Amino acid sequence: MISVNNLSKAFGPKKLFEDVSTGFPEGRRTGLTGPNGAGKTTFMRILSGDLEPDSGTVWRPKRMGVLRQNQFAYEDQRVLDVVIQGDRPLWEALREKERLVWKPNLTEEDGHRLGELEVVIAEEDGYSAEADAGALLEGLGVPTANHERDMRELEGQYKLRVLLAQALFGKPQALLLDEPTNNLDIDSIRWLERFLKGYEGALVVISHDRKFLNEVCTHIADIDYETIITYPGAYDEMVRAKAEVRGRVESENQEKQKKIVQLQEFVARFHAGTRASQVQSRKRQIQKLSLVEIKRSNIARPFIRFEQKRTSGKQTLTVAGLTKAFGERQVYRGFSFLVTRGEKVAILGRSGTGKTTLLKLLVGDLAPDQGIVTWGHEAARGYLPQDHEGQIRKGTTAFEWLKSWDAKVYDQDVRALLGRMLFSGEEGLKPTAGLSGGETVRLLMCKLMLLKDNVLLLDEPTNHLDLEAISALGEALQKYEGTALVATHDRDMVSTFATRIIHLSPEGDIVDFVGSYDEFTEKYPEL
């Protein structure tokens, strides 16, 4: 169990939480939620011991698994060794044993110590450690061929998976996972869900994947109103309960306010008359009818609406005989498909199957080895790449950068658009060099809304967005009257907007399915 008592934390004048007491008992799987900037990662770092609170105490079990975000900390180490380091007692015993075994002359004391280390290794299941680590890596989609390599040889997406395997290794009594589904494909997310549902310790997880939270969590600890309130149930149940509680308090306050006004009117009318005792009684009633203070919520939801200046032709996109390879790796061979006006296509598949490659081929950032990509009449394309580096010019402000895309747009319209995407007031004057990941994505979406293209191509658009923004994006895509092709791992969002699924497999097989995501999973449960 992890317990927190009277904990407070602030950064300058910004108070994240104050005098918080809560617990995360064994067997409870808790999702930690709240908008960007509410303090989720700060609270998680306090739980792990990486950050000290301003006041209060934290009790932790001896063995905790923590998902570390520094993917470059183990560059010269073997992948399997990095995973095994998740069990510190085992790792230290293995290292010490190795040092003793390689000594040229063992003393009697060394022999006794080796015996003690063998006991530790046996108790920690050390003789199956590499096999257990390999099973975790395979479940998380790290190919077996990479297990013996050094971390520096891995792609970034695999490094983060190795660190997740490290956190899960060694049967920790508590697990602290900050955005564990980042860079995981849908297959790996499903594997992680199954693993965590069988986990018997205390789990605290931050995720912007709504479906993941609903699938895994038994409780939600919500950071809002400068405190943390724990709700039983999964994420959707928390949202309903939170709205009901706030609605009930607001309704009760309204009734109290009406009663107070009536009593005040009586006091004002008869305060100088013969009904003095009744006036005093009414004053006492007013004092008892105190309103419940409703703190301002930190939750802010962007208003996303994609429009189109003009419609495209009915046959919006035609792809014929698309073929692309990188060295000996064949990504596509003779892939053909037609997208008609208004279709909402979700591009799914494991990491490395070619989702980003497909979008780059469609927008012309990559040239096919063979085949033709033909855009239809009046097709105007808006593209949001997965890699945002260089997409927003530095040395300017959010307002100036956005206005530069349309010289005819009025300043007030630019400010209104920025405000809808949570750049209100002076936030719109924020230097582009200082934008966070979430702010960068929201500003790039401002550009798409400003230009009003009739085709949207979005590559992992939910990266860096919080749950409210992801929900708003899914609804915006659903209402969009143009055509959309979206590569994403967010199943909840796909369920909201997709009318067609293109699923890519590691073997190069392609499933092109017309229908919703729920219909797709029903027909292809193995995918």
Domains in the chain, please, with CATH?
A: 74-169 (no CATH), 315-393+445-523 (3.40.50.300)
Element (H, E) at 256: helix 235-270
pLDDT band at 101 (very low <50, low <70, confident <90, very high): confident
pLDDT one-digit tens code per residue, 303-318: 999 999 999 999 999 9
| Residue 71 pLDDT greater than 80, yes or no | no
Q: Which pLDDT score, from 0 to 100, does residue 295 have?
A: 61
**Are residues 164 and 468 in contact, defined by beta-carbon separation less than 8 angstroms?**
no
Distances (CA, A) of 350 to 353, 406, 505: 6, 38, 7
Q: Kindly report, residue by residue over 332-361, the tens digit of the pLDDT.
A: 999 999 999 999 999 999 888 999 999 999
370-429 tens-digit pLDDT: 999 999 999 999 999 998 888 999 999 999 999 999 989 999 999 999 999 999 888 899
The phi and psi torsions of 257 (rounded to 5 degrees) equal -65, -40
More confident residue, 247 or 441: 441
Which tokens is 194 given? Answer: 């199954």
- Residue 278 banded pLDDT, cuts 50, 70, 90: confident
Convert the pLDDT of each residue in 145-163 to its tens digit: 999 999 999 987 788 889 9
Low-confidence winner among 224-233, 269-278, 378-387 (lowest mean pLDDT):
269-278
d(CA 299, CA 208): 14
pLDDT in tens, 112-141: 999 999 999 999 999 999 999 999 999 998
Percent of the chain scored above 90 by pLDDT? 68
What is the pLDDT confidence band of residue 294, given thresholds at 50, 70 and 90?
low
3-state SS, residue 307: coil
Residue 246 pLDDT level (bands cut at 50, 70, 90): low
Mean pLDDT of 495-508: 93
249: helix, coil or strand?
A: helix
- Indicate if the pLDDT at residue 249 is higher than 80: no
DSSP string, 46-87: HHHTSS--SEEEEE--S-EEE----TTTTTTSBHHHHHHTTS
* pLDDT for the residue numbered 283: 78
DSSP string for 130-198 = HHHHHHHHHHTT--GGGTTSBGGGS-HHHHHHHHHHHHHTT--SEEEEESTTTT--HHHHHHHHHHHHT
Predicted TM-score (pTM) of the model is: 0.78
- How much is the mean pLDDT over the chain? 90
What does the DSSP assignment read for 358-422? Answer: HHHHHHTSS--SEEEEEE-TT--EEEE-S--TTTS-SSSBHHHHHHTT-TTS-HHHHHHHHHHTT
